[in-house]
Structure 1
């Protein structure tokens, strides 16, 4: 399941709702953080980019900074979190992500990387090429720990969580397409599953770090390409550029032709676009509703 809304700019209403939900840390959270490292905590800054997890920047007495996440228990189970931590370790060894210090079902603590989000940059040919390069690096990691893709299961789970009515005929069409992809696609590549420009940081030395591996999946390259295109709202020309550059980078060791890769990406993109709409209905609407209920009851 993809946190496809992570790249969406929050409205003032959504921001106020998030502030109500994750304004500060609880005593239990502070105790857990203290158990993971010995330095006193001197500052806490909420970061409001993510909609499914509450994220905080911590500053320690020695001026070292860490990232603390309050994980959404309804979005991922304990098995998912254990697999995420293992994938984090693979990516850390490869120099692709900041080191995860500790993780449990409810919380995650990791090192802080000082850089700016790629979302701050214009989406041009240079940025598209950089995206393709990061996808190549991800797909070169060992295909371990993550669950095989199951888009059909994700669709069914999201549908159960949605309170409002949906177009059943449209859902059925997308579900059948997802089942075909689940059954027929190779699952021999470790995919990030959430490669938003918000999850890519670059520093002054042009070093890139990839964040948020919680939706890592064993799938085929088209899975990650399509999710990346969807999550970053790439237009048709940008999509074509990303596919072509990715295929060019892999031309010596990719078995699929460029035309076949385009076709496969198109099928995945149709499913991810629909998943994005369901995700918005499921999580964003529910969070705003819950926050408004708390406000009215105060």
Structure 2
């Protein structure tokens, strides 16, 4: 049964709006939540309705609220209007439909600058525990799926990379952990803003770099530029090794994430199983290069 536009507006809208909000249009791009451009208080706002499978995806909304409070104060996110205490939705000011893209060294420099500012934000109480996240994902995955055994066969190798990454870690900082292009908005003021902080946690900043590189498909030259701009120094072999471990770990987490989506019915593409097996084989080949 379809939901009317009026039904999409939260019943407690008067907590954050003085005029009845109306839906302008759905906003595309999010794989987890549903977002809508709305009009209220004579301005454009963004209403994000949180995913019904937030728990299965191990999303920590309390951590997001803490991180957003810091980012909002520092001007690094879309200005926050309201964060629902029941964690069903949030409202922010609308910035732009223009998302960040890798089209020049200048765009990578802007991203590196944003990254450094995020990593200087105050700490929050939640830290990224990769082992716990993997366990949580596996609890939601149907192990009878045809790709599940192949995915499980990677566990030992992934744990070895986790231990190696931990050994190279030089400290935790607050990270966004999902800086894909769809979560990076280019504002009218020519600044870059990060939205959707639901994976925010204290962690190794090189995990954040791995997410950006893998999630946005940066080539080797772009990786070099980003790393140099972010570190503000020449890259060393240990830097690349540290990044490599996190790239493999992130790829594996992505496979688990899609496994959860497939198992819960949130994604049901007919070719999902075949694509999963293809990505598993690609990850196996990458891991094999280390042996």
Deviation at 1:25, TM superposition (A): 5.6
Deviation at 1:159, TM superposition (A): 2.0
Selected match of 2:12 from 32, 39, 44: 32
The 1:205–1:217 alpha-carbon spacing in structure 2 relative to 1, beyond 3 Å, is same
Selected match of 2:110 from 116, 125, 130: 130
Deviations along 1:31-83, one digit per CA (max 9) or x if unpaired, are 122332211223342113111111111112x5301111111243249992222
Deviation at 1:267, TM superposition (A): 0.6
What pairs up with 1:87-166 in 2 under 5 angstroms? 87-103=67-83, 104=85, 105-114=87-96, 116-119=98-101, 122-142=102-122, 144-163=123-142, 164=145, 165-166=148-149
Deviation at 1:30, TM superposition (A): 3.0
Deviations along 1:131-180, one digit per CA (max 9) or x if unpaired, are 211111111112x2251121121122222222222322212321342255
Corresponding residue of 2:187: 203
Corresponding residue of 1:267: 245
Write the distance in 2 (CA, Å) between the matches of 1:51 and 1:236. 27
Selected match of 1:283 from 261, 264, 267: 261
Q: Which has the higher contact order (CA 8 A, sep 6+)?
A: 1
Write the distance in 2 (CA, Å) between the matches of 1:133 and 1:158. 32
Residues 194, 215 of structure 1: 8 Å contact kept: yes
Write the distance in 2 (CA, Å) between the matches of 1:221 and 1:79. 19
Residues 118, 198 of structure 1: 8 Å contact kept: yes
Write the distance in 1 (CA, Å) between the matches of 2:244 and 2:59. 31
The 1:109–1:203 alpha-carbon spacing in structure 2 relative to 1, beyond 3 Å, is closer
174-183 vs 129-138, which moves further = 174-183
Cα RMSD of the aligned pairs, angstroms, is: 2.8
SS of alignment partner, residue 40 of structure 1 = coil
Corresponding residue of 1:293: none
Instruction: Give the aligned length.
Output: 261
Corresponding residue of 1:10: none
Residues 185, 219 of structure 1: 8 Å contact kept: no
Write the distance in 2 (CA, Å) between the matches of 1:113 and 1:180. 40
What pairs up with 1:1-298 in 2 under 5 angstroms? 24=5, 26=7, 29-60=9-40, 62-76=41-55, 80-103=60-83, 104=85, 105-114=87-96, 116-119=98-101, 122-142=102-122, 144-163=123-142, 164=145, 165-167=148-150, 168-181=152-165, 185-248=169-232, 251=233, 258-283=236-261, 286-289=265-268
Residues 137, 256 of structure 2: 8 Å contact kept: yes
Residues 30, 182 of structure 2: 8 Å contact kept: no
Write the distance in 2 (CA, Å) between the matches of 1:178 and 1:148. 15
Scaled by the length of structure 1, the TM-score of the pair is 0.77
Scaled by the length of structure 2, the TM-score of the pair is 0.79
Q: Which runs of 5+ in 1 are unaligned?
A: 1-19, 291-298
Residues 97, 210 of structure 1: 8 Å contact kept: yes
Deviation at 1:115, TM superposition (A): 5.0
Deviation at 1:226, TM superposition (A): 0.9
SS of alignment partner, residue 153 of structure 2 = helix
